Amino acid sequence: MTQFDAAFEEVVGDRPGAIVLTGTGRFFSGGLDLKVVPTYSLSEQKAFLHTINRMIGRLYACPVPVVGAINGHAIAGAFVLVLTTDYRIGPDADALFGLTEARAGIPFPAAPMVVVGAELSPSDVRYTTLYARNFGPSEARSRGVLDELRPRSEVLERAVEVAEDFASMPADGYGRIKRQVRAAAIARIEQLIADDSDPMLRGWLDPGAREASAAILHGARDG
């Protein structure tokens, strides 16, 4: 995430007309590494939370249009990355989407939770966070996670087309309107970061997280 944050800062500094965010292979991103995160010390947990809150906040408030070329699976933290983008194209088959943190015993950092609440309807927030099951592309679109579906081979090409359309808009006006639309969520995230007030900083991972994460990984291997 630190590398991503630095790369994103460099790209935005070049003042592009638009940005396309994508992954490689069958995954847009698999989210957190469940073999590593549950082993973090308290200081590592705090550093991690600071990084993810800052990164998600910067993505969500980015004045440049960000188009998501969601080429494959987007699970947990990656699901939130999808929600930070301004327009989202996903594959029409063979991809899973979901917020599975509850099943891993890993609560949400503050900034991702703000984005989830801002981008999904209340019923979809409840379903995705508390039922915590993955679902396919059609359901992702019906729940407002994706804007359109394309064959996997066309996702990136279509995202570039959409990005070119975004780039044709007046840049300053777009950035100001985007901030108007997302003002409440952006202000909340900025305040959380400025005040160092993410409640998870006082204790993010409980002792059960390692066992729950191991059970998920064991189930994935069995599957």
Report the pLDDT value the prediction gives residue 39, as an integer from 0 to 100. 86
Find residue 208's DSSP bridge partners: none
Q: Which residue has the higher pLDDT, 166 or 220?
A: 166
Q: What mean pLDDT comes out for the span 83-103?
A: 96
Region of poorest pLDDT, from 34-48, 161-175, 179-193: 34-48
Residue 217 has pLDDT above 80, yes or no: no
At 219, which amino acid appears?
Answer: G
CB 46 within 8 A of CB 180: no
Query: CB of 156 within 8 A of CB of 71?
Result: yes
With a cut of 80, say whether residue 195 has pLDDT above it: yes
What tens digit of pLDDT does each residue of 133-166 get?
999 999 999 999 999 999 999 999 999 999 999 9
- Cα separation, 135 vs 94, in Å, equals 10
What's 93's DSSP letter? S
- pLDDT tens across 96-118, in order? 999 999 988 889 999 999 999 99
Confidence of residue 223 (pLDDT cuts 50, 70, 90): very low
By residue count, the chain amounts to 223
| 172-176 LR contacts (CB < 8 Å, sep 24+) | 174/63, 174/65, 175/63, 175/64
Q: What is the mean pLDDT of residues 14-34?
A: 92
Report the Cα–Cα distance between both ends of the chain, in Å, rounded.
Answer: 28
Strands 27-29 and 73-75: parallel
- Mean pLDDT of the chain, nearest integer: 92
Closest listed residue to residue 179, CA positions, set 85, 61, 65, 67: 61
Structural tokens at position 124 = 């979809």
Share of the chain above pLDDT 90, in %: 76
Tell me how far apart the alpha carbons of residues 201 and 198 are, in angstroms, rounded to a whole number.
Answer: 6
Q: How many other C-beta atoms are found inside a 10 Å radius of the C-beta of residue 134?
A: 19
Q: Is the pLDDT of residue 210 over 90?
A: no
**What confidence tens digit (pLDDT) does each residue in 11-21 have?**
999 999 999 99
> What are 75's two structure tokens?
């699970």
> Rounded to an integer, what distance in angstroms lies between the CA atom of residue 212 and that of residue 93?
28
Q: Which comes out higher in pLDDT, residue 203 or 96?
A: 96
pLDDT value of position 119: 98
Read off the tokens for 190: 């900025």
pLDDT of residue 157: 98
Considering the segment(s) 16-155+164-222 as one domain, its CATH architecture is: Alpha-Beta Complex (3.90)
Is pLDDT at 65 greater than 80 in this prediction? yes
Q: Exposed (0-12), middle (13-18) or buried (19+): which is 202, by Cβ within 10 Å? A: exposed
Q: 3-state DSSP call for residue 129? A: helix
Q: Are 144 and 74 in contact (CB under 8 A)?
A: no
Domain ranges in the chain? 16-155+164-222
